[in-house]
Chains A and B, each alone.
Chain A
């Protein structure tokens, strides 16, 4: 898990040009001034790095439960700890599939 968290920190550090050391599990992307396009680039970088698909929909903050597949809402991708947990969940789901 720590390895995943470090990779997530690396990616966010690179995308937002913020020193790696400043990023802790409690750091929230919003507090780093990330805009929507930064967020999409980070999602893409995570998907490329871990070979996963993050089923995130930018419109579903208010529409949880709509749609057929389990979705990841923005509220679950706020902090580095949350993002790392989501990545781990998707990687576990991939190996068990």
Chain B
């Protein structure tokens, strides 16, 4: 079996579109959550989100291409370009034939959909734009990356809601490990912040009105986010042969289904996915130093995830550092797991554990070391990244120091 490493990271995130902006914000716990700005927001109760505000696709993407890309595909293409650039890998025509592209996404082209329905039902327009369907389809981001970078190997999208980015990276990892591809462009993209989507989230009564405080007793719910994160995965020997800088090695991937409640996550399902990742990596629970939690900041998730961590790690659960990046990045649904895997890889590379920002008070039901508010220098040899989707579909990645 091949070993698989991360040699490039590209992000389009609420805290910036370069790693120089991204990582310090995570380490310093600078939250991107702020006033929401979307079209037709008058009737929304939710007034906050973690939005990508400094994104300008114009210099990399020419106007003609831009016109056929929904916002989520714009994010994806810009992040994929950045990941390849960051890796220093020159993808030759021959390598492009084998390079895989796997992108997670939950909602498809929501901006395109919202605008189209507004035009159709509210403005009584007799027709929609010709590129409506190609812009809104869930696989658009994956397709646009292949077209933009000329990648002709295996390519597909994964639509497992809040775990999509993690599933995408995990499946790409398994493809490289088994020799199906030497290189993969893998991650997630999401641009779900439209009046229609947010209104639908309001009906679940889980959105916070002020900010996201994972694992804190004073939590008030989740805050939606958006963005893209793309990792350049490379077969380790391939990377070492060209002297590449390696952020981290991916060593395990585990999946499970709760087969239970449609929205409430099940500690048993989460624990089974974590154990599957450990087994896949042939590691023990006591090898793990850091867990980047799903940590949405809902009472239900935080308590259920804590119970799952206690189940898997036993008495070690108090020793392991556990932090959630969602206080800083919000919950970007299909991109969340990819952004968080980028955070996990950087934690292994820089040997710094980013904190759970916005932390106020210990919740007795979440009595873990959640690295409250202040980052920590630490020996991080093995780290885990958790994602648990609505619908009970769980995905867990395990990575080690390069």
Contacts and interface: CB of A to CB of B under 8 A. Distances in A.
A55 B45 contact: yes
Interface stretch (B151-159, B176-184, B199-207, B307-315): B199-207
B379 to A, nearest CB: 35
Contacts of B298: 58-59
B305 to A, nearest CB: 14
A56 B298 CA distance: 14
A53 interface: yes
Interface string A35-70: 111001001100000000101111111110011110
Nearest to A58: B205
Nearest to B262: A37
B217 interface: yes
Contacts of A71: 209
A58 B207 CA distance: 9
A71 B261 CA distance: 26
Contact residues on A (Cβ < 8 Å of other chain), bracket = 20 to 34
Given A67-B208, A69-B209, A62 B218 contact: yes
Name the residue in A36, A61, A69 with the highest tally of chain B Cβ atoms < 10 Å from its Cβ.
Answer: A36
B197 interface: no
Interface string B249-265: 00000000000011110
Contact of B220 (A36, A40, A44, A60): A60
A59 B299 contact: yes
A57 B219 contact: no
B210 interface: yes
Interface of B: 45, 203-210, 217-221, 261-264, 297-300, 363
